[in-house]
A and B are shown apart, each in its own frame.
Chain A
Amino acid sequence: MDPMTPHVARVRRKRRDAADVWTLELEIEDGNLRQRFAFTPGQFNMLTVFGVGEVPISLSGDAAEPGSLIHTVRAVGAVSGALTRLASGAAVGLRGPFGAGWPMDEATGRDVVILAGGLGLAPLRPALYQLIATRGRYGKIVVLYGARSPNDILFHSELAAWRRRLDVDIQVTVDHAASSWNGHVGVVTTLIPRADFDPLHAIALVCGPEVMMRFAIATLRDVGLSEESIYLSMERNMKCAIGFCGHCQFGTVFVCRDGPVFRHDRVRSLLAIKEI
């Protein structure tokens, strides 16, 4: 099957998660192809709005339900904006899934720190679904999530449901808030020293704006996590998604093919180069 040829999917449902963020549930028209779009947490698809263009969007749904392809999209450009304006039933081009996902096997038997900022919670949500579905395989599960303001917090109801569980620690912070907000205020890195996990036996999965990830990784290192225990999801301008075109080349790697999830020690030197 040609990975460059999109298949037609339809918008089954859409839900607004924030002022400019929508979650789209897509369904493949050809039922025989559904298994073909099975994915692992952390992977992404290329979505086409016909006549507008194509963009890479992380899968944000449950990988255990491959028939339901869920993507959370922020309207920032022409294509992503058009995606968020699609009505139920509208056609979307779909290629994927692509890339290397989160190292779920590596997490087995260890404490797991999910550290997300802004829309970065979306690519981590499939990992959380899997962690919770197989809860007994892991030590402590700690979710540290930072958003711009209370109105920008994604997946409110799910966060609340997970918070009610006694075996998952959910900590949410916002950068600023009105005085009516009773939750935590401060950058997401401030949650790290307060969180209860064993840094010597923990693995951290980090996703968010790159500058946030740099500071978050520095703080994770400060509290004792090794570089080999920190994974991050990189965002670059991906076009072909199969390592041919070079748009997402990041030093010696292609983010679309070798990532988007990387172990920190493998990209640390590249993160320090401003020009790439």
Chain B
Amino acid sequence: MEGLERIVREHPFFAGLEEGFLNLVCGCAKNVRFEAGQYLFHEGEPADNFYLIRHGRIALELTAPGRGAIVFQTLAEGEIVGVSWVIPPYRWTYDARALDLVRAVAIDAACLRQKCEADHDLGYEMMKRFLPVLVQRLQATRLQILDVYGVPS
């Protein structure tokens, strides 16, 4: 458990997290590993976990009829995969595929949600960490939608 605590503490997403909160988070955490090509989850499945990436890269994909899978983002060491666990109905809205060997920490979403409900300080701390990720990804999505490298009309 001490090893897992160190890993979570050293992950950039949880940088500076106070010890009490760290223990609560680690109570919901476990080490996981995915081989290259293996899917972490698929669109529509319950968002049971989110992942702290320790090593490797992950592609987030959407499949469109006639176009196959389109990768819209890749994530790497030091980043997190999954924000769908925060918002009902807690279902993934895309697929996540390991591009190479991925080592990560999986955080049990139901476990952490329960702890956040019981301790709103923890919940607020989690929101302060997730919101910037959400905003950054929203801004990135806006830039992608703008298609800034496309031919101006």
Contact = CB atoms under 8 A, between A and B. Distances in A.
Residue picked from B57, B78, B148, B151, most chain A C-beta under 10 Å: B148
Specify which of B57, B59, B74 lies most central, judged by the most chain A CB atoms within 10 Å of its CB: B74
A185 B149 contact: no
Give the residue among A119, A152, A178, A190 with the most B Cβ atoms within 10 A: A190
Given A211-B148, A212-B148, A179 B140 contact: no
A177 B71 contact: yes
A122 B105 CA distance: 41
A121 to B, nearest CB: 11
Contact of B139 (A146, A176, A208, A215): A215
B76 interface: yes
Given A148-B150, A179-B59, A179-B61, A189 B140 contact: yes
A76 B152 CA distance: 8
Contacts of B139: 189, 215
B68 interface: yes
B107 interface: no
B-side interface size class: 20 to 34
Nearest to A177: B71
A182 interface: yes
A103 interface: no
Contact of A208 (B73, B78, B140, B148): B148
Nearest to A119: B149
B52 to A, nearest CB: 16
A194 interface: yes
Given A176-B71, A190-B140, 9 more contacts: A117-B148, A175-B143, A176-B144, A179-B61, A179-B70, A184-B57, A184-B74, A208-B148, A212-B148
Interface of B: 57, 59, 61, 68-74, 76, 78, 97, 99, 136, 139-140, 143-144, 146-152
Interface of A: 20, 74, 76, 117-119, 146-148, 152, 175-179, 181-187, 189-190, 194, 208-209, 211-212, 215
